[in-house]
């Protein structure tokens, strides 16, 4: 929880809430973990996330787990402040709570004589009499308490609760994307094969990078530049433009058959591939990661249901 205040226009927050609020409730539930979650989350952490989420009705446990993944790789990170001390911003523990400095003191709060006093969310989750920010059994319930107090209660506004945890719109997008992969349910599948896994993982790592026409990294992308570079990480060489990429791989005719890593395409005329104007990387649950347009950044957005969706291609499955 870096708690560094980044100026975000109110209209952007409202649009983000409209886009991701319903998405969060539709694709992220509190049910059993997906195969991805079972593979990624340490056995000792999974029940902690599930039990902590139960203390806040409406908070899906995958959201809590996604924050733990991003903040410290579920406590496995060797970065400063995860197991001792604090990072440069004053954040500490597996859930990166502020204990002072730029991050504030969201763990212990501030003395009541300070105006305004800062609420402390430190929790003695394991009942040993100590609220230890480095102890997962304490830090994870504390994170649930924080999210609950900032919009997660009864699922009122999950994106706003995540934004309160770390004031950045890219952070909200990434948390919901990871949470989507942790939630078992229709439309969520594991990437098939190492090439696809690397491509999808790279796409996630580029969230927040700026759009620039004709760019294919390191810091700027257009839509086909992102897909090309992502697949290059998996050893697959895609053509440069979206229209050329349409003919690379096997066609996926039924949207219900889409798998993470498939390329999803959009056209002005759904009967004419020559009018294709956009491509993204499908990540499951009806969503894609793409570089949208000038003035935007690489982000997670709904793919299926758009009026200009023309179809998809699986780059690792032979010719179209």
The closest of 282, 267, 268 to 203, measured between CA atoms, is 282
Question: What is the tens place of the pLDDT at every residue in 15-62?
Answer: 334 334 443 444 455 677 887 888 899 989 999 999 999 999 989 999
pLDDT of 6 over the 80 cut: no
Average predicted confidence (pLDDT) for the chain: 84
CA angle 277, 191, 207 (to 5 degrees): 55
The dihedrals phi and psi of 132, each to the nearest 5 degrees, come to -105, 115
d(CA 316, CA 249): 6
Q: In what order do the strands lie in the sheet containing 287-290?
A: 250-252, 309-314, 263-267, 276-284, 287-290, 299-302
CATH number for the domain formed by residue range(s) 194-314:
3.90.1720.10
CA distance readout (Å), 97 to 39, 52, 141, 192:
25, 16, 12, 36
pLDDT of 10 over the 50 cut: no
Question: What is the tens place of the pLDDT at every residue in 229-238?
Answer: 999 998 999 9
- Split at pLDDT 50, 70, 90, the class of 110 is low
Beta strand segments in the chain, E: 91-92, 97-98, 210-211, 220-221, 250-252, 263-267, 276-284, 287-290, 299-302, 309-314
CA angle 280, 225, 17 (to 5 degrees): 45
Residue 287, beta-bridge partner list: 284, 302
Between β-strands 263-267 and 276-284, what pairing exists: parallel, antiparallel or unpaired?
A: antiparallel
Domain boundary assignment for the chain: 10-182, 194-314
pTM of the model: 0.58
């Amino acid at each position: 929880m870096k708690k560094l205040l980044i100026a975000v226009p109110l209209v952007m927050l409202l649009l983000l809430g409209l886009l991701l609020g319903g998405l969060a409730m539709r694709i992220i539930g509190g049910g059993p973990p997906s195969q991805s979650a079972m593979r990624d989350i340490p056995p000792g952490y999974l029940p902690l996330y599930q039990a902590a989420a139960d203390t806040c009705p409406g908070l899906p446990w995958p959201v809590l787990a996604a924050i733990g993944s991003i903040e410290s790789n579920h406590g496995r990170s060797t970065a400063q402040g995860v197991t001792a001390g604090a990072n440069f911003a004053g954040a500490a523990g597996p859930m990166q709570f502020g204990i002072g400095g730029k991050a504030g003191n969201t763990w212990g709060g501030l003395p009541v004589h300070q105006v305004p006093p800062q609420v402390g969310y430190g929790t003695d989750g394991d009942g040993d009499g100590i609220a230890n920010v480095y102890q997962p059994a304490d830090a994870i319930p504390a994170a649930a308490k924080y999210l609950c107090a900032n919009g997660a209660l009864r699922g009122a506004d999950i994106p706003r609760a995540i934004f309160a945890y770390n004031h950045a719109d890219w952070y909200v997008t990434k948390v919901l994307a990871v949470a989507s992969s942790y939630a078992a349910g229709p439309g969520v599948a594991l990437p098939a094969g190492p090439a696809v896994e690397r491509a999808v993982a790279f796409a996630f790592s580029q969230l927040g990078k700026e759009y620039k026409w004709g760019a294919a990294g390191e810091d700027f992308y257009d839509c086909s530049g992102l897909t090309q570079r992502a697949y290059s990480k998996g050893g697959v060489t895609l053509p440069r433009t979206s229209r050329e990429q349409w003919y690379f791989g096997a066609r996926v005719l039924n949207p219900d058959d889409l798998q993470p890593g498939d390329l999803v395409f959009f056209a002005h005329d759904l009967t004419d591939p020559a009018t294709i104007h956009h491509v993204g990387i499908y990540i499951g649950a009806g969503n894609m990661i793409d570089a949208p347009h000038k003035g935007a950044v690489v982000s997670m957005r709904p793919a299926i249901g758009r009026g200009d969706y023309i179809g998809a291609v699986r780059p690792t499955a032979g010719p179209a």
